[in-house]
Amino acid sequence: MFVLTHRPPDSDHHPAISFLSGDLSDAVAAAEAAADGKNVIVFGANLTLQCLHAGLLDEIVIHLIPVLLGDGVRLVGAPDLGTVTLERTLVAANGPITDLRFAVTRRG
């Protein structure tokens, strides 16, 4: 597991966690190398948005849960992002949760 941060911890941490504090594309490249051909998953709205800006995302997966919140972090709240074209590749439901999967086909 990689954690991208501006302030890596000084203290001991779990050996399965690596803290990266450099360039975003270098961090993604390190995660891809460690994944050895498997998927790299990005969590967090801000980091996901940074990856979209940099053209580093191939796919977006949304787990939709039917609860409306009055406040929170927008899925994408960046007017400077431009148009991101998505192609729906999966819609699946399991109980109250709906999973949506989209391929990122074009950014412009």
Q: State the DSSP H helix or E strand holding residue 97, giving kind and residue range, or none if neither.
A: strand 97-107
Residue 104 pLDDT class (50, 70, 90 cuts): very high
**Helix (H) / strand (E) containing 20:** strand 18-20
Residue type, 17: I
What pLDDT band is residue 107 in, cutting at 50, 70 and 90?
low
pLDDT, tens digit, for every residue of 43-77? 888 888 889 888 999 999 988 888 877 776 667 77
What rounded mean pLDDT belongs to the chain?
A: 86
Let me know: does 91 contact 100? Beta carbons within 8 Å: yes
pLDDT band at residue 108 under the 50/70/90 scheme: low
Helix (H) or strand (E) run with residue 91 in it:
strand 84-94
